Chains A and B, each alone.
Chain A
Amino acid sequence: EVQLVESGGGLVQPGGSLRLSCAASGFTFSSYAMTWVRQGPGKGLEWVSTISGSGGTTYYADSVKGRFTISKDTSKNTLFLQMNSLRAEDTAVYYCAKEGGGGGDYEINYWGQGTLVTVSA
């Protein structure tokens, strides 16, 4: 059974940093691309970033490029999202998600329960 468990969310001041983690189990972590999707309060889904199964290719939404970094530790089956220079508009529930293949252009077939990030003074 695929399980994705996010952690690391919380309250942070504007300009601050936060590191999200996602512990994955139930599948071969190195074979599948992993993605972060966020959802602001009362808003729709917004793709944030994707890392390929091998970890060699990363993609970012323009809204986070240069501020967020996606990475993975295959030995620990863990996905990360390092978020720097946080802004109020980054406030959202962040979902860790598994894709259906190794590249970044597959469907998301499993979602975590999400972790809330609040950026406020």
Chain B
Amino acid sequence: QSVLTQPPSVSAAPGQKVTISCSGSSSNIRNNYLSWYQQLPGTAPKLLMYENNKRPSGIPDRFSGSKSGTSATLGITGLQTGDEADYYCGTWDSSLSAKVFGGGTKLTVL
């Protein structure tokens, strides 16, 4: 049981938009920055978004992040087959003094 809650899977057609939610609590999402990670099949995770809505260099602006209260959302527009991956949210939990991740969401581009 993950501290952060994500939907197990989402799907959409190429060119469409999809959102992935991440739900937590006051001790993690509300009071700390949230990050998103993309893990393509058979590869190591990669940072996709940090400090809630900032994109590292090289991440296209098709990817966006937002946070409100104890929840956060990753948005992906103009879906491509290359976006098929597992997506994880992560943050620090101040009560646990631990880094926490969501259970991951598998994105399928139909």
Contacts and interface: CB of A to CB of B under 8 A. Distances in A.
Interface of A: 35, 37, 44-47, 50, 59, 61-62, 95, 100, 104-114
Interface stretch (B13-21, B75-83, B95-103): B95-103
Contacts of B101: 37, 44-47
A20 to B, nearest CB: 15
Given A44-B104, A107-B51, A109-B56, A95 B35 contact: no
Interface of B: 2, 32-33, 35, 37, 39, 44-47, 50-51, 56, 86, 88, 90, 92, 94, 97-104
Contacts of A61: 98
Contact of A104 (B2, B45, B99, B104): B99
A108 B97 contact: no
Contacts, number: 64
B46 to A, nearest CB: 7
A45 B45 contact: yes
Given A107-B51, A108-B90, A47 B100 contact: yes
Nearest to B94: A105
Contact of B44 (A50, A104, A105, A112): A112
Contact of A45 (B33, B47, B90): B90
Of B39, B56, B98, B100, most buried by chain A (CB within 10 Å of CB) is B98
21 contacts: A35-B99, A37-B45, A37-B101, A44-B88, A44-B101, A45-B39, A45-B101, A46-B101, A47-B101, A59-B99, A95-B45, A104-B99, A105-B33, A105-B99, A106-B33, A107-B35, A107-B51, A107-B90, A108-B90, A111-B47, A112-B44
